[in-house]
Amino acid sequence: MSSPVLEVSALTKHYGGVHALDGVSFSIARGELLALIGPNGAGKSTCFNIVNGQIRPDSGRVRLAGRDITGLAPRHIARLGVGRTFQVATVFASMTVLENVQMALIAARGQVFGLWTAARHRGHGDALALLEQTGLAAFAARPAATLAYGDVKRLELAMALAGDPALLLMDEPTAGMSSDERQAMIALVRQLTRARGLAVLFTEHAMDVVFGHADRVVVLARGRLIADGSVEAVRDDPAVRAVYLGGASITLSQTP
């Protein structure tokens, strides 16, 4: 296994008496798709927000490719190679699909232009390549507003990749999708993870997505890490069943 892209160690964050995170440690390697799961309030968002700099931990460290990035500003962390997609996709509805990716490339490269007309020829080839990789090339000239929901999420992924991140944080990448869309989206993410040598950390409530596609699963409950292992190991872990599922006999199946 190569050296970790992301390493979080002993992360702790309290809000008054609430232990949002309590000594959480895990790491992600290049080319690895890691699911971060847990019941509501387990600490998943807090963990994401600490990694990308929106929240400072009370204690613990975050390292990106060995470099300590704990407490750096989100912009700085983004520049160092941490991308993020959100549960609610954020694209410019009135721009074309291609223009959205061009804008993301321009923003990622820190280029500033007074006029969009000057910018619109920039990054054309790179933007098209990203659309090819995310299966959106045929929609390049369409306004983003006309895309189906699943394609908007692909566009958001293409825009996140414009920053050429080493680590991509994905907040419920398949939220709001049909079962088929979910499978197609996570299969795409998995393929890009491998092809680009990305490290991807994603939160997800859809268990078919997690157990069908993740390389590894980290489980939080009430701020504590209760399991970190393969899909099979986590699915069969009594602590996961007891705490994460509240003891209910739910089938953590690999298929929807």
Ligand X SMILES: Nc1ncnc2c1ncn2[C@@H]1O[C@H](COP(=O)(O)OP(=O)(O)OP(=O)(O)O)[C@@H](O)[C@H]1O
What residue ranges bind ligand X (CB under 6 A)? 15, 18, 20, 38, 40-46
* One-letter amino acid of 100: N
Nearer to ligand X among residue 118 and residue 250 (C-beta): 250
Nearer to ligand X among residue 118 and residue 239 (C-beta): 239
Here the tokens at position 215 are 């390389």
Here the tokens at position 245 are 């599922």
Shortest distance (Å) from residue 156 CB to ligand X: 19
Shortest distance (Å) from residue 224 CB to ligand X: 11
**Cβ neighbours of residue 190 under 8 Å, at least 6 residues apart?**
33, 213
Shortest distance (Å) from residue 21 CB to ligand X: 7
SS3 (DSSP) at 195: helix
How does DSSP assign 1-61, residue by residue? -PPPSEEEEEEEEEETTEEEEEEEEEEE-TTEEEEEE-STTSSHHHHHHHHTTSS--SEEE
Nearer to ligand X among residue 23 and residue 197 (C-beta): 23
SS3 (DSSP) at 103: helix
Nearer to ligand X among residue 8 and residue 130 (C-beta): 8
Shortest distance (Å) from residue 183 CB to ligand X: 22
Nearer to ligand X among residue 44 and residue 216 (C-beta): 44
Shortest distance (Å) from residue 35 CB to ligand X: 13
What is d(CA 2, CA 25) in angstroms, rounded to the nearest whole number?
18
Do residues 28 and 4 lie in contact, with contact meaning Cβ atoms separated by under 8 Å? yes
Shortest distance (Å) from residue 48 CB to ligand X: 8
* One-letter amino acid of 78: A
**Cβ neighbours of residue 155 under 8 Å, at least 6 residues apart?**
89, 91, 97, 100, 101, 134, 136, 144, 147
Nearer to ligand X among residue 50 and residue 98 (C-beta): 50
Shortest distance (Å) from residue 104 CB to ligand X: 26
Nearer to ligand X among residue 43 and residue 83 (C-beta): 43
Element (H, E) at 63: strand 59-64
